Amino acid sequence: MKKPAITQVPIDGTISNRWSGRAYDAGKAVSRDQIIALLEAARWAPSCFGDQPWRFIVWDRATDAAAWQKAFDCLVPGNQAWVKDAPLLFLAAADSLFNHNGKENRWGQYDTGAAAENLCLQATAMGLMAHQMGGFDAEKTREVFGIPQQYSLMAMIAVGYPADIGTLNGEALERETAPRSRRPLGELFFNGTWGKPAA
């Protein structure tokens, strides 16, 4: 299923075609090279001081089903309902300290979001679908995978090939077919001063 963004003027197709779908094809494998491409896209995100504060864990069901299952078990039930068919899971975590001086890095989460979005856009460009999730038990995830306190657990990301919506039911199906929407440009973007709509 495709749900391209409706825009006032055309934008790059990779951006308009990225969307957070829920129907994944459990039978269509994502190759090792594709996984590396996703990681490279995240790696080449910009960051404050070039510090690269993001850390990702990859769980590939095809090569380590037990680890994938442990990650899946950390998701809230509402996400488990549709992540069941996704071959790949990622965790994006943000370093709270700068690498170069050990001081607080207040841009760590910002930079990690940029890396995660790079990964999602690369997925779209390769015909895959990526869906970020805040709905997981961060403390359980930290414990199960031994993640140091210094890193904030930001999001899990499901990745795989999209499938027919027939693989879904209930709320997941409803949300899959609902239209995508955004606030008007003028509510979000200001011209010259705070609150003056830019468009």
What's the min distance (Å) between Cβ of 47 and ligand FMN? 18
HSE (CB half, 13 Å, CA atoms) of 76?
Answer: 9
Stretch that binds ligand FMN, among 24-32, 129-137, 145-153, 161-169 (CB under 6 A): 129-137
How many residues touch ligand FMN (CB under 6 A)? 9
For residue 78, the tally of other CB atoms under 10 A from its CB is 14
What's the min distance (Å) between Cβ of 132 and ligand FMN? 4
132 contacts ligand FMN (rule: CB under 6 A):
yes
HSE (CB half, 13 Å, CA atoms) of 35?
Answer: 17
Mutual angle of helices 32-43 and 108-125, in 10-degree steps: 140
What's the min distance (Å) between Cβ of 196 and ligand FMN? 26
Q: Which lies closer to ligand FMN via its Cβ, residue 36 or residue 184?
A: 184
Cβ-contact 59, 89 below 8 angstroms:
yes
- Encoded tokens for 182: 């955004």
109 contacts ligand FMN (rule: CB under 6 A):
no
Count each helix (H run) and each strand (E run) in the chain, helices first.
Answer: 8, 4
State which of residues 93, 155, 163, 168 lies at the interface with ligand FMN (CB under 6 A).
155
Cβ-contact 120, 130 below 8 angstroms:
yes
180 contacts ligand FMN (rule: CB under 6 A):
yes
Stretch that binds ligand FMN, among 40-48, 126-134, 162-170, 187-195 (CB under 6 A): 126-134
96 contacts ligand FMN (rule: CB under 6 A):
no
Cβ-contact 105, 97 below 8 angstroms:
yes
State which of residues 20, 34, 80, 96 lies at the interface with ligand FMN (CB under 6 A).
20
134 contacts ligand FMN (rule: CB under 6 A):
yes
What's the min distance (Å) between Cβ of 163 and ligand FMN? 16
Mutual angle of helices 138-145 and 65-72, in 10-degree steps: 150
- Encoded tokens for 92: 């994006």
133 contacts ligand FMN (rule: CB under 6 A):
yes
**Binding residues vs ligand FMN (CB under 6 A):** 19-20, 79, 132-135, 155, 180
